[in-house]
Amino acid sequence: MGDGADRGLDGDPEGVWSPDIEQSFQEALAIYPPCGRRKIILSDEGKMYGRNELIARYIKLRTGKTRTRKQVSSHIQVLARKRVREYQTSIKVSSHLQVLAKRKSRDIQSKLKAMNLDQVSKDKALQTVANLSSAQIVSASVMKAQTPFPPPVRFWPGPLPGQPGHSQDIKPFAQPPFTTIPAPVPAPISYEALPPPRPAAISAPVWQDRTIASAKLRLLEFSAFMERQRDRETYKHLFVHIGPSNPGYNGPVLESIDVRQIYDKFSEKKGGLKELYEKGPHNAFFLVKFWADLSSDIEEGSGVFYGVSSQYSGAENITISVSTKVCSFGKQVVEKVETEYAHLEGGKYMFRIHRSPMCEYMINFIHKLKHLPENYMMNSVLENFTILQVVSNRETQETLLCIAFVFEVSTSEHGAQYHVYRLVND
């Protein structure tokens, strides 16, 4: 009984791999390629590690959570078995398509031979069929006998977004002059346009469950930055940034994290994360993991501006209050409260807080952090540093959005990175 309770999905014996551990695991897989029975020596430690030991070590450094070498090995085997099953399924689908395609191709060829076409047109039609993929042959509709040659085949009913004119995925043979072909002229093949997939029932906007958005307010953009003007030019560096997104219904929904796991990282005073979450609404609560870019080339000193910008959209004409609380070791050290009024644009109400000056505490904190010599030292400090942003209706005090920010230092050449989670209490 106890052994079964510890098993996760697919019989994974090490239990649930939370999103942060899984992310670190995937990063480590990319960093450390398979090396068989060989060991790898880390130059900074002089110790020899196998690949699974390196992955376990990486997870510990990134998340502070322990996964043993055997647990890593077991998780790799679980994922490998899953991919084998997916591959086998795709092979079965492909094989079935090929069988159907061969059957349909024979039917098409026999009907073409029976048609009253000149040999050149017949050969070109057969060549067109030979060049089609299995899926395209299977998707072809039944031949229609008394119609002129079809126009170029299109799999979409109209132009693709951002592309001029029509999309022509498959171009049939060139049309010979009709005067040389005895009438009536039958059509070799005709295709039905495949409309873009639509969800069976749309109960919420596409961006809900896929972006930082509650039923009443959506975060469109957020950034913290420093900039300096020199010789009439502005140099800007983004410490963190959430850019605009345009999700689709086929896109992934946000992963979830139990809000109780992070209660201790935020103030438990009145208006803290725990009290706010219990009050709800639960669909307004999110966690953002930032990998902050501290590798700025802008010289510090006078003339440098540190700021924060954010943008929201909603369906109601209200006034919002934005509270930003900085916490260290779970204790609130500073709070900034701002008010913003709605502006109607394109049928939506927009709220913009543009170039809000960063508080002195945060500027000093960034200065001290940047002067630490190693990334692991910065991450050690950031492990106990969090920010809680609460956006509420100023009149009713209803929580519209509550975003918990946690941080690490980015080592990516692409600068600041982030990942969004929905906070739940399961």
Would you state the pLDDT for residue 136? 57
Is the confidence at residue 45, as pLDDT, over 90? Answer: no
pLDDT of residue 115: 67
Q: Which residue has the higher pLDDT, 300 or 379?
A: 379
Query: Is residue 218 a contact partner of residue 349, using CB atoms and an 8 Å limit?
Result: no
Given a contact cutoff of 8 angstroms between Cβ atoms, the answer to whether 189 and 129 are in contact is: yes
Mean of pLDDT values over 109-134: 67
pLDDT exceeds cutoff 50 at 173: no
Is the model's pLDDT at 392 over the cut of 70?
yes
Residue 168's pLDDT band (cuts 50, 70, 90): very low
Residue with tokens 């390629």: 33
pLDDT greater at residue 98 or residue 366: 366
Q: Please give the Cα distance from 293 to 300 (Å, whole number).
A: 15
pLDDT in tens, 342-380: 999 989 999 999 999 999 999 999 999 988 989 999 999
Q: Bigger pLDDT: 331 or 251? A: 331
Q: What is the pLDDT of residue 97?
A: 67
The pLDDT score that the predictor gives to residue 164 is 41
Torsion sign (Cα): 117, 120, 124, 130:
positive
Confidence of residue 305 (pLDDT cuts 50, 70, 90): very high
Comparing 68-72, 99-103, 222-226, the range with the smallest average pLDDT is 99-103
Lowest mean pLDDT across 35-44, 156-165, 198-207: 156-165
pLDDT in tens, 401-422: 999 999 999 988 888 999 999 9
Please report which confidence band the pLDDT of residue 47 belongs to, taking 50, 70 and 90 as the band edges.
low
What pLDDT, on a 0 to 100 scale, did the predictor assign at position 122?
65
For the cut 70, the answer to whether the pLDDT of residue 158 exceeds it is: no
Among 203-212, 216-225, 247-256, 390-399, which is the least confidently predicted range?
203-212
Q: So what's the pLDDT on residue 290?
A: 96
The more confidently predicted of residues 327 and 168 is 327
Q: How confident is the model at residue 43 (pLDDT cuts 50, 70, 90)?
A: very low
Comparison of pLDDT for 179 and 121, the residue scoring more: 121
pTM over 0.75: no
Instruction: Give pLDDT, residue 85.
Output: 80
Q: pLDDT band at 188, cuts 50/70/90?
A: very low
Would the pLDDT of 295 be above 50? Answer: yes
Q: Give the number of other CB atoms < 10 A from CB of residue 338.
A: 14
Sheet holding 417-424, edge to edge: 255-258, 417-424, 285-292, 399-409, 385-393, 319-328, 331-341
Q: Is residue 333 within 8 Å of residue 327, measured between CB atoms?
A: yes
Q: Determine the pLDDT at residue 151.
A: 44
Q: What is the pLDDT of residue 186?
A: 44
Q: What is the mean pLDDT of the chain?
A: 77
Q: What percent of the chain has pLDDT over 70?
A: 69
